[in-house]
Structure 1
Amino acid sequence: MKLGIPHGEVEAFACPVTFTVDVIGGKWKSLILFHLMSGTRRFNELRRLMPEVTQRMLTLQLRELEADNIITREIYREVPPKVEYSLTALGLTLVPLISAMRDWGAAHEQVIVARRQALRGDSGDEA
């Protein structure tokens, strides 16, 4: 988890793109942010929306986003305990970026999937 700036990290993030990818990169963080764009979500809601993610990995990714002040975690003292996640003000600044990623994917998915299938020799008819 990135709770401090280790020695040499300043040099490693000389490129803003590298830093941004460090904050929101990976398979799950951008999906978490996408789902939080529509509002507050509970942990199990996020699990249902991303069935491929393990509970441990989701917890880890949520903690990293929380440590970077991208999301906030609200704990309600009730039985059973309720925990909700939402975007912070800083997290909301990522909405245009996540939206642009969604739009780009929608616009180019078919072409790229077809290209990947052609390179593998798949016909795409078997599924």
Structure 2
Amino acid sequence: MAEGVQFTRAEAGKRYDVLHTVCPARDVVDHVTSRWGIWVLISLRGNDLRFYELRESIQGISEKMLAQTLRALVQDGLVWREVEPATPPRVTYGLTEFGRDVGEPLTELFDRITRRLSAHSTE
């Protein structure tokens, strides 16, 4: 669980400039908002999942894309990865504190969208 990118702190009183191409926060935003990153964070919000459980919970994602997305999110410190020695190895993924913090507004966003869609479908 200790895996993740080490970010240097912005100078006191300053924020990262996410509009600048070399901003480390920009890479994290790109990974979170990628086609599959959002769905991985939402799928893991309720509980930890093994690789195949995660793949089954996200319809349409290939194993290759799931592996790439998880690798990026683990590197960013949003998702932790635990390997249990077995044959075959059991790999479990879950949200770090940072991942839960980032995923919370995504959950709110999707809740708002689904409420609005539900309201439109009854009109």
State the Cα distance separating 1:51 from its structure 2 match. 2.7
* Alignment-derived partner of residue 107 in structure 1: 115
Matched residues in 2 for 1:101 and 1:20: separation? 18
The share of aligned pairs that are identical, in percent, is 25
Q: Which amino acid aligns with 1:27?
A: R
Q: Match of 1:56, SS?
A: helix
Aligned length: 106
TM-score, with length taken from structure 1: 0.69
Structure 1 segments of 4 or more deviating over 6 A?
none
State how 1:75-94 maps to structure 2 within 5 Å: 75-94=83-102
Query: What aligned pairs does 1:34-53 form with structure 2 within 5 A after superposition?
Result: 34-53=42-61
Return the letter of the residue paired with 2:68. L
Normalized against structure 2, the TM-score is what? 0.72
CA RMSD of aligned residues (A): 3.0
Larger relative helix fraction: 1
SS at match of 2:94: strand
For structure 2, the residue ranges without an aligned partner over 5 or more in a row are: 8-17
| Aligned CA distance change for structure 1 residues 62 and 112 (closer, same or farther; 3 Å) | farther
Q: Which residue of 2 aligns with 1:27?
A: 35
- Separation in 1, partners of 2:107, 2:86: 35
In structure 2, the CA distance between the partners of 1:20 and 1:67, relative to structure 1 (3 Å rule), is: closer
- From 14, 20, 23, the counterpart of 1:11: 20
1: CA distance, partners of 2:112 / 2:29: 17
For residue 11 of structure 2, what is the aligned residue in structure 1?
none
Give the gaps of 5 or more residues in structure 1: 114-127
**How far apart, CA to CA, are the structure 1 residues paired with 2:117 and 2:50?**
29
Please report how far the alpha carbon of residue 19 of structure 1 lies from its aligned counterpart in structure 2 after TM superposition. Answer: 6.0
- Greater C-alpha radius of gyration: 1
- Look up the match of 1:56: 64
